[in-house]
Structures are given as structure tokens and as C-alpha cells.
Structure 1
């Protein structure tokens, strides 16, 4: 599963060409930041779960 500050890959890439997103807010809405152009996008948790492909990097690897 995913946590705050994880880097995730979505099913569709961002128009800037990057496909890595950092989770910066979790709740009923999810706020993610594109790692290519730093654009912030807010999605509902339902939409985020549908569009999530995989977790690329965990925030705190213990």
C-alpha cells in the first residue's frame, strides 16, 4: 500500500513527460506533486486508487 511522501507511478503520465508523483496529502482527497514539473494535483481517494499503478519508492524504508 502507499503512505505519505511515497513516490508512485500512475496509469497515465503527466503532459510534461514525467510519470512519478509524490504523495503530499492523504485523506478523503489525495494531493500529489509531479516530480517533473512540480505541478500539484488533487484527486479523490477513489480516483487515486483507480489510477495508481505501483509504488516506485517508499518514504521511509526501514
Structure 2
């Protein structure tokens, strides 16, 4: 699955804030940092863990 910086993604498990299940990718490298679109919480995963937990890409930044 292809994803890039500032794409909006959905993870397999929703965030406990229950306001949103969508996340924005805010940093990419060996680690990937994502930000909850509901409450603004920031979570960092290794790339391998992120790809394992990723469900789908909702919006590609290049489409906007």
C-alpha cells in the first residue's frame, strides 16, 4: 500500500478518543509519526509496525 507525507489514513484499531478514526502522517523516515484528526494526539511507530497496523489510505495529499 502506498502512502506519503500528509496523507490521511485509517488504522486497524480506532483511537480511544472516539472522535475520529482518521490520522494524518506528519513524519516519515525509519519511524512514522501520525496525528489523530479528532483530538490531535501524536503517536510514533516503526515503519514495520505502522504498515502492519495500517488499514487503508483515505486521502492522498497529491489528490487535494
Q: TM-score, normalised by structure 2?
A: 0.92
Q: Does 1:44 align with 2:43?
A: no
Q: How many residues align?
A: 62
Which aligned pairs between 1:3-18 and structure 2 lie closer than 5 A? 3-17=4-18, 18=20
Deviations 1:24-56 (A, max 9, x none): 000110000000000010011011000000000
Please, what TM-score do these two structures have when normalized by structure 1? 0.95
Other structure's SS at 2:61 match: coil
Give, in whole Å, the separation in 2 of the partners of 1:53 and 1:42: 16
2-structure distance, mates of 1:57, 1:38: 18
Unaligned 5+ segments in structure 2 are: none
More helix by proportion, 1 or 2?
Answer: 2
- The Cα RMSD (Å) is 1.0
- State the partner residue of 1:28: 30
